[in-house]
Amino acid sequence: MVFAGSLRVNSASCAKQLRSSHTRALHTTAPRLSQSLGAQIAARLAGPRHFSTSLVAPARSSPLLSSPRWSGNNKPIPPAPSEPGNDAAESSSKSVKLDGADDESPAGSSAQSSPPPSSSSGGDSNDGSDPPPQSPQPTPTPSSIAKQSVPEVYPQVLALPIARRPLFPGFYKAVVVRNPAVVAAIKEMMKRGQPYLGAFLLKDEHTDSDVITDINSVHPVGVFAQITSVFAANSGTGDDKEEGLTAVLYPHRRIKITELIKAGEHTSTAKVQEETQTVTPPPTPTEGDVAKIPQGPVQTSFLHKHAISIVQVDNLVTQPYNKDDQYIRAFMSEIVSVFKDIAQLNPLFRDQITNFSINQVASNVFDEPDKLADFAAAVSSGEVGELQDVLESLVVDDRLRKALLVLKKELINAQLQSKLSRDVDSKIAKRQREYYLMEQLKGIKKELGMESDGKDKLIEKFKERAATLKMPEGVRKVFDEELNKLMGLEPAASEANVTRNYLEWLTQIPWGQHTPENYSITHAQKVLDEDHYGLKDVKDRILEFLAVGKLRGTVQGKIICLVGPPGVGKTSIGKSIARALNRQFFRFSVGGLTDVAEIKGHRRTYVGALPGKIIQALKRVGTENPLVLIDEVDKIGRGINGDPASALLEMLDPEQNNGFLDHYMDVPVDLSRVLFVCTANNLDTIPAPLLDRMEVLEVSGYVSEEKCVIAEKYLGPQAKEASGLKDADVVLEPSTVDVLIKYYCRESGVRNLKKHIDKIYRKAALKLILDLGETVFPEPPPAAATSAPASSSAADTQPKTVDSQEPPANEPNEVTSEERTSNESGDLKTVTTQERKPLQIPDDIHVRITPENLKDYVGPPVYHKDRMYLSPPPPGVSTGLGYLGNGSGAVMPVEATSMPGKGGLQLTGKLGEVIRESAQIGLSWVKAHAYELGITKTPEEQFLTDRDIHVHMPEGSIGKEGPSAGTAILSAFVSLFTKTKIHPDIAMTGEISLVGQVLPVGGLKEKILAAHRAGIKTILAPAANRADIEENVPESVKTGIRFVYVEDVREVLHEVFRGQDIVERWKDTLSL
């Protein structure tokens, strides 16, 4: 509903007319104690009157008696046909509009009379502010006129729901009615002279309706109101006819619903026809329909043909009271006092209270305490529930108490608003008017205690931070300059945000703050042994590093680079170093990094600018001497935003990083106390200038024995606990781990081994659940069913739910759109904060994972055999040793064959460029020494002019690269051309030159480990790798293998073909 306010009139004129009206009314009406409290609103709506009720004039027919005066509508409503016998009562003077003549019906009320005058026309009411009289009048005679009486008993009324605020007796309100049926009913009520209805407040303030469909949707107590005038709510021209109407209601008394006789019907029609009042005329009721209509008063029987709400009501009468009671007088005095206080603060209240005082000249305000309470509630803006309580109160002192509570809240709001207004007014003189709202909001937040003066508090915070830091002199100077700049800037300025963010970073760098370091060798050795097994060389190098730091008191100038295959523990070694030194740890990866700003930071002028990673690390750890691990330093990218590898040069250079200059900070930051540890898989992709600044520690792979111990001490217990089997008797036997390493996980690292052990324990957990069933491992009760703590309220015990986001089932059955909508809207998921406790596994459960049942847990073996040839292969096949990309070694056979052709060389097996070159070198050496090898009979004989050579390395899907296959390829060529077999227990590795020298290669540890696993008895290796093999390869791996160190390919051929007939000839032609 839409409420309209009333107009104001001259107070002196109102007072004069009230006294005159009161004196003249004594001739025709019963005496009244006081003027009605709503009279001032009627005076504003109707204007001053030019006649009194004591006037006697001849009456004659007037169209005004049969229809209301429509304000704002140019088309007059056709008058209703008059009934016989009423002609004498329908006469009036042309110059005076009467209130109407009453035709008494058998039921004691008028059957047809003119409605009250329109509130928008002047001179149409009997006095300045009088409502229709409250007492019944005698039936007028043709020779006299009298005011229309308001019936004291009106049992059935049209029920009109009101939203947002209740109505109070004596105070006008305007409502907008848009329901076509209700509009039609109101028009007919006005024509019939029965403009009375019941107004009831809706319980749900968010709904808006003109009909009552459920008696529980409105409060039972409302008001009996008279429709004084009506207006067109929305009128148009052409096809756009008026929509609804505005009715001005004057409540007379309180009523209560006892029964909903007829419920209204909602309609989607928004427009009302001017004459017919409904879009479709209502059907003529039959006799049966008439019988169904509840018997009621005659004056409201016509309402049953409209689709409106009709209710049975009873009048509510204020309980008797003593106006001289001290409590009542105290309440009234306090209300008057609060009115005065509010009037000083709120101009709107001042005008309303003034009008109320003017209308009380006929009697003392203390004579009508009930109406004073209604006035207090009507003019206040309190809660809807509190106002409804005032309306429902029939005890005067209770009504006054509730009205006083509403007024007190109004006074508090007015005082707070006044205080905030005064605070804002003191500042607004110096600022632009557009700044007013922001300052007012700031004042409100300050009053509520949500924040204090943000700028002063921020500056004080920066000063407190800076006082605890040991900033260098240059940095302190920059800090003071930026702080002074911030003090002179407005908080709303964009520059203020940039300066504030810069000061935040500048005061969060730990200038001069560091953690005490622990250089104890014993402690470091203990930490390294706890975290890692094996890696003796790496541990020794770290202990040497710490020993130097213990003597010098610092480890500045050292940048360590850990290089090794994936999964060998490079990152965890960095964590162990930090734990041994008692340093803070920070890790960030530069793999794929293409932006220099990630290292050097952004310029402060950019939106969203941030310092580089190293400055962020210092802020995060809070110390100047953390251990920063830079991961994947060999995988740095290079894009359009610069070369990050070049940006790392300044950060990782011990001679420069004591004054590292970040683009964002723009002040030198000392990084010399930071211990940098880098990790990489390959040194070849690291730029040479960057590699030159780092101290490389090679972390090679683990041998089988080391893997077994790591699995037993570290990987197994961790996986068992993570699978929920910590206390269960589930055992992974050592022999099973050995089989797992040999046939499933041959990598140098242990990451893949950890994945397989995790899978084994997960499978074991699943088998336990499936074998024992849900009876042994039952589901715990839902979280909502658990009892809440005694201290929690009833609202806290209710389970919290969220909308279900569960995907629909993948079923082919078709689901209708209605079912899908209901399912989606109705499903709710309960959420809880309670942690689920682990289940206890019975003690009689025993699980053993053995080599025999390992296949049930991890599937079939990945590696079936270690070498292709267990018996002597055909001529042209040799055995080489290779290093795979995953960090493991492999036994790689080399196969060569010849065929008729033109002397070409064909290479297959996904060979890299370096291997192709090794094959070309090997073939060229064989051609050059064909006579010495016994392939040709004379030195001048042509060789391979009509034959093609094909070299292949099996497992063609695996890429092969590197120079270490040179000796194996050359041996295969000699075996092919001399038709001599090579024993399969002989393997070789080494690069060859064009003159036949054997050059050193890498990855010897992994290659020898693969040869040991394959059962190789003899290994030919370059003599330059002898020291590496003797020092770095464990003795357990070298056991059972004979190493032959060679420097020339002649030595290789004599060793490979030892015992063959061709070697006897070579003693003369191919001597060592």
For residues 566 and 601, is the Cβ–Cβ distance under 8 A? no
Angle at the Cα of 887 from the Cα atoms of 881 and 889, rounded to 5 degrees? 20
Rounded CA-CA distance 908/903 in Å is 17
DSSP 588: E
CA 515 to the chain's CA centroid: 37
Handedness of CA 897, 900, 905, 906 (dihedral sign): negative
Degrees to nearest 5, angle at CA 496 with 495 and 499: 85
Return the structure tokens found at 1072. Answer: 């060592």
| Active-site residue list | 964, 1007
Chain mean position to CA 618? 29
CB atoms within 10 A of CB 719: 21
Q: What is the 3-state secondary structure (H, E, C) of 416-465?
A: HHHHHHHHHHHHHCCCCHHHHHHHHHHHHHHHHCCCCCHHHHHHHHHHHH
**Distant-in-sequence, close-in-space partners of 804: CB < 8 Å, separation ≥ 6:** 824, 827, 828, 829
90 within 8 A of 96, measured Cβ to Cβ: no
Q: What's the CA gap between 733 and 714, in Å, rounded?
A: 15
Which residues, listed in sequence order, are joined to residue 915 by a DSSP beta bridge? Answer: none
Nearest by Cα to 891 from 747, 1055, 1015: 1015
Cβ neighbours of residue 557 closer than 8 Å, sequence gap 6 or more? 654, 672
Nearest to 136 by CA among 24, 225, 28: 28
Helices (H), 929-1025: 966-978, 1004-1014
Give me the count of residues in the chain.
1072
Helix (H, G, I), strand (E, B), or coil: what is residue 102?
Answer: coil
SS3 313: strand
Phi, psi angle pair for 913, to nearest 5°: -65, -35
How would DSSP label each residue in 833-890?
-PPPPPPPPPTT-EEEE-TTTHHHHH-S-S---S-S-SSPPPTTEEEEEEE-TTS-EE
